[in-house]
């Protein structure tokens, strides 16, 4: 080590003086500590530098008073007398540009709780969303270099917002809590080239203007439930089962409210209104009764559907409940109303004492019977309440002009003025039927423009089920009806019917093979009925009419055949009536009806 007071060469001192680093002369001879760099006697006048013609020690003793506090500019090194050398401390800390966006956090001086680096300039920015207010709490220890007489001349901590400044802070006393009332806070920490101090630590959090505590509407609840709600906090409203969210008169699928910057909710509280299913749908051919109360249609209300006379409910008991989803729902979970189907196959006629031979029918004996008046006279059978089943050859000429077909129902006498009028909307001929080339696939459907009103004299015939063939075996009795030619060769004035047995298919085929008949060939799509001795048969004018059989288990009549063709001489011995076998066409019938 050299002497404690060493006089630098003139050139070196002048160089330092010119750089503002060593003014005034640094020598002291009074045994007082050397002032810190930059602590010269600044009076606002230009400082004088060392000169060999002056006695710096005498002048300094005369002029140096209590050292005013001001430092020379910081340099990248620690000044040692006679030289400028770099040091680790002079490098400072990389602590600028730190940005904190979380609602709470912790920040501290570099290296805390170890001594912070020298010659550092740190910047910490807290940037929260508008509406939040930052609060700062100094925690644990606080140790920043200070001066006993001047406020924080060496190292300092400053806090600044857009509204106010706090500090500078130094020393060893923890500063009090700072409530900034701002969402943007900048903290700066500057250190010089000397001293060993541990620094500081700040825990910050944020608050915002709270929104009023939400109160759940009746029959509803709020989630999540919090002690307070501040900006950006949100809550959802859920209604109890059987209640729905309404905002005014408008139903809502969901509801969420958000707390705003000014401490208000962004939308008003909805209400939970009891679900109202509204009036139940009307039931075609039926009606609905209110069970819970007159026109009560809210959650858990009950209504009862029932069908009109001559109609029956397909598969349900007709009881429907207003459920939480706002739909009337059956016990089977069906949302659509039940279906009232016409009762089919009901006849006032008894089978006791049936006889073979043409007989006059009575009202209600054949309520499915339809009279078709077009290019010729023919017959058909009502299916459901808006379809007519008939033979293709009977309506072939009207297939392109369905509206020209005059359809009459509910009458016995062919010329009676008292009947129910029906009009055709469309005629559907089986696609595999070839006119004037035999009678295979001789079947057609007529769709009516309007449903007919059912009564005891107008009711549909049933379609055959899978087990129907059990009642259509050889010698089983079927019944044909119509206004066709009688034995006298005239059209019947009154509806006639005849009971005839089913004929063995091979016998029928063989009978027509023996005797040539124009286009006459019996196929598997046909069945035959009649007497071997003749005399009992359907005839011209009966075409399209139904050959019906009684289902012994259900006691309902079903259509087994459609009057198609036969011997030119009706009722001729060994020549049977040939009928379209309806059971072979059930898929075709259902497809047409379901499609149109």
Question: Of 538, 543, 564, 567, which is the active-site residue?
Answer: 543
Burial 556-578 (b: 16+ CB within 10 A, else e): bbbbbbbbbbbbeebbeebbbbb
Residue 543 annotated among the catalytic residues of the structure: yes
Same domain, 170 and 129: yes
| Same domain membership, residue 582 and residue 522 | yes
Q: What are phi and psi of 91, to 5 degrees?
A: -75, -20
Same domain, 226 and 202: no
Q: How far is it, in rounded angstroms, from Cα 295 to Cα 306? A: 16
162 is in an annotated binding site: no
Q: What is the pLDDT of residues 494-505, one digit of tens each?
A: 999 999 999 999
- In order, the DSSP letters of 416-478 are -S--EEEEEEEEEE-TT--TTS--TT--EEEEESSPPPPBTTB-PPBPP-GGGGGGSSTT-EE
Model pLDDT, residue 512 = 86
Task: Tell me the torsion sign for CA atoms 432, 435, 440, 444.
Answer: positive
Q: Which of 218, 326, 316 is nearest to 272 (CA)?
A: 218
Note whether 163 and 116 are same-domain residues. Answer: yes
Whether 194 has a binding-site annotation, put simply, is: yes
Pairwise pLDDT comparison (566 vs 586), residue with the higher score: 586
- CA 154-157-159 angle, 5° bins: 145
pLDDT surpasses 50 at 460: yes
End-to-end alpha-carbon separation of the chain, Å?
117
Dihedral sign (CA 483, 485, 487, 492): positive
Instruction: Tell me what the pLDDT averaged over the chain comes to.
Output: 83
One domain for residues 384 and 524: yes
Strand partners, 408: 371, 421
Annotated binding residue 524: no
For position 252, which CATH number holds?
A: 2.10.70.10
- What number is the average pLDDT over the span 453-460? 95
Q: How far is CA 506 from CA 106, 518, 523, in A?
A: 103, 20, 10
Q: What is the b/e burial string over 70-79, where b = at least 16 CB atoms within 10 angstroms of the residue's CB?
A: eebebbebbb
Lowest-confidence region among 54-58, 124-128, 262-266, 366-370: 54-58
Judge whether 4 lies within some domain: no
What are the φ and ψ backbone dihedral angles of 250, each rounded to 5 degrees? Answer: -100, 125
Quick check: is 344 in a domain? no
* Bridging pattern class, strands 132-138 and 105-108: unpaired
**CATH number of the domain within which 450 lies:** 2.40.10.10
Q: Is 442 a catalytic residue?
A: yes
Query: Cα torsion for 410, 414, 415, 416, to the nearest 10°?
Result: -30
What band does 92 get if pLDDT is binned at 50, 70 and 90? Answer: low
168 and 38 assigned to the same domain: no
Specify whether 393 is catalytic: yes
**Are the beta carbons of 468 and 560 closer than 8 angstroms?**
yes
Query: Is 82 within the bounds of a domain?
Result: no
pLDDT band at 54 (very low <50, low <70, confident <90, very high): very low
Do 520 and 406 sit in the same domain of this protein?
Answer: yes
Predicted confidence band at 57 (pLDDT cuts at 50, 70, 90)? very low
- Determine the pLDDT at residue 518: 66
Q: How many residues does the chain have?
A: 596
- 281 located within any domain: no
- Quick one: 160 and 247 in the same domain? no
Flag whether pLDDT at 31 surpasses 80. Answer: no
- Domain assignment present for residue 537? The answer is yes
From 121-125, 154-158, 244-248, 532-536, the region with the lowest mean pLDDT? 532-536
Q: Give the span between the Cα atoms of 354 and 358, in whole angstroms.
A: 11
145 has binding-site annotation: yes
Torsion-angle region of 20 (φ positive above 0: left; ψ -120 to 50: alpha; else: beta): left
Flag whether 213 is in a domain. no
Q: Which of 13, 25, 197, 393 is catalytic?
A: 393
Say what the pTM is: 0.61
Q: Residue 351 — pLDDT band, cuts 50, 70, 90?
A: low
Give the single-character DSSP code of 229. B
Q: Please check whether residue 68 lies inside any domain of the structure.
A: yes
Query: From residue 518, how far is each of 39, 390, 526, 565 by CA, in Å?
Result: 139, 21, 16, 10
CA distances from 10 to 56, 75, 77, 178 (A): 12, 22, 22, 53
How far apart CA 106 and CA 128 sit, in angstroms, is: 14
Q: Are residues 418 and 514 in the same domain?
A: yes
- Tally of domains within the chain: 5
Domain limit, last residue, from 157, 176, 208: 208
Q: Domain limits at 172?
A: 98-208
Q: Is the C-alpha dihedral spanning 150, 154, 158, 164 positive or negative?
A: positive
- Judge whether residue 531 has pLDDT over 90: no
Active-site hit among 442, 537, 542, 567: 442
Which tops the pLDDT comparison, 556 or 541?
A: 556
Instruction: Answer positive or negative: Cα dihedral of 500, 505, 511, 516.
Output: positive
Residue 180 counted as domain residue: yes
> What element of type H or E holds 484?
none
Of residues 567 and 210, the one with the higher pLDDT is 210
Instruction: Find the radius of gyration of the CA atoms of the chain.
Output: 55
Q: Is residue 514 located within the same domain as residue 588?
A: yes
Strand pairing class (369-373; 359-360)? unpaired
Count of CB atoms within 10 A of residue 226's CB?
14
What is the tens place of the pLDDT at every residue in 377-434? 999 999 999 999 999 999 999 999 999 999 999 999 999 999 999 999 999 999 999 9
Q: Which helix (H) or strand (E) holds 16?
A: helix 10-18
200 and 229 share a domain?
Answer: no
Going by pLDDT thresholds of 50, 70 and 90, the confidence category of residue 538 is low
> What value does the mean pLDDT take over residues 38-45?
36
Residues 214-240: tens digit of each pLDDT: 999 999 999 999 999 988 899 999 999
Q: Which helix (H) or strand (E) holds 12?
A: helix 10-18
Mean pLDDT on 553-579 = 85
Q: With a cut of 80, say whether residue 36 has pLDDT above it.
A: no
**Whether residue 568 sits in one domain with residue 498:** yes
The predicted-structure confidence for 248-264, as pLDDT tens digits, reads as follows 989 999 999 999 988 99
pLDDT band (50, 70, 90) for residue 515: confident
pLDDT at 522 over 90: yes
Tell me the C-alpha distance between 158 and 163, whole Å: 14
Q: Quick one: average pLDDT of 334-362?
A: 81
């Amino acid at each position: 080590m050299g002497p404690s007071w060493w006089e630098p060469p003139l050139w070196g001192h002048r160089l330092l003086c010119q750089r503002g680093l060593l003014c005034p002369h640094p020598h002291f001879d009074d045994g007082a500590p050397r002032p810190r760099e930059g602590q010269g006697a600044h009076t606002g006048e230009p400082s004088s530098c060392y000169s060999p013609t002056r006695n710096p020690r005498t002048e300094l003793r005369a002029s140096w008073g209590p050292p005013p506090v001001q430092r020379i500019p910081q340099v990248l090194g620690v000044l040692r007398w006679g030289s400028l050398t770099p040091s680790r401390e002079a490098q400072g800390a990389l602590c600028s540009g730190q940005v904190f966006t979380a609602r709470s956090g912790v920040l501290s001086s570099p290296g805390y709780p170890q001594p912070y680096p020298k010659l550092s300039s740190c910047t910490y920015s807290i940037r929260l969303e508008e509406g939040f207010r930052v609060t700062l709490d100094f925690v644990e220890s606080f140790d920043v270099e200070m001066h006993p007489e001047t406020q924080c001349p060496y190292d300092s901590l400053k806090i600044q917002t857009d509204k106010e400044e706090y500090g500078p802070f130094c020393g060893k006393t923890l500063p009090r809590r700072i409530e900034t009332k701002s969402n943007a806070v900048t903290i700066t920490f500057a250190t010089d080239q000397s001293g060993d101090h541990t620094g500081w630590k700040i825990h910050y959090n944020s608050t915002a203007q709270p929104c009023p505590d939400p109160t759940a509407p009746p029959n509803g609840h709020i989630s999540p439930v919090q002690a307070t709600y501040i900006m950006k906090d949100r809550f959802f409203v859920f209604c109890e089962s059987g209640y729905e969210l309404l905002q005014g008169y408008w139903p809502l699928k969901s509801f969420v409210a958000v707390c705003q910057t000014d401490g208000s909710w962004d939308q008003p509280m909805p209400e939970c209104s009891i679900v109202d299913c509204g009036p139940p749908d009307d039931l075609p051919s039926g009606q609905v009764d209110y069970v819970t109360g007159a026109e009560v249609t809210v959650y858990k209300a009950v209504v009862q559907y029932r069908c009109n006379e001559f109609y029956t409910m397909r598969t349900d008991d007709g009881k429907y409940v207003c459920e939480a989803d706002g739909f009337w729902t059956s016990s089977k979970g069906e949302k659509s109303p039940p279906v009232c189907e016409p009762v089919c196959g009901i006849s006032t006629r008894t089978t006791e004492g049936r006889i073979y031979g043409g007989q006059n029918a009575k009202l209600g004996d054949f309520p499915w019977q339809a009279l078709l008046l077009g290019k010729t006279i023919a017959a058909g059978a009502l299916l459901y309440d808006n379809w007519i089943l008939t033979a293709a050859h009977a309506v072939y000429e009207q297939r392109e002009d369905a509206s020209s077909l005059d359809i009459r129902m509910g009458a016995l006498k062919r010329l009676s003025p008292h009947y129910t009028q029906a009009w055709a909307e469309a005629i559907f001929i089986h696609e595999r039927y070839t006119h004037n080339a035999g009678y295979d696939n001789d079947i057609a459907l007529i769709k009516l423009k309007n449903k007919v009103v059912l009564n005891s004299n107008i009711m549909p015939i049933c379609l055959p089920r899978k087990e129907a063939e059990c009642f259509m075996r050889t010698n089983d009795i079927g019944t044909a009806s119509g206004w066709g030619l009688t034995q006298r060769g005239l059209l019947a004035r009154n509806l006639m019917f005849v009971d005839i047995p089913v004929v063995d298919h091979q016998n029928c085929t063989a009978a027509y093979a023996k005797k040539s008949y124009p286009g006459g060939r019996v196929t598997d799509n046909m069945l035959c009925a009649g007497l071997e001795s003749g005399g009992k048969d359907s005839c011209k004018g009966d075409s399209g009419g139904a050959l019906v059989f009684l289902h012994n288990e259900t006691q309902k009549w079903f259509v087994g055949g459609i009057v198609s063709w036969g011997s030119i001489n009706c009722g001729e011995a060994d020549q049977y009536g040939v009928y379209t076998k309806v059971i072979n066409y059930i898929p075709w019938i259902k497809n047409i009806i379901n499609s149109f």
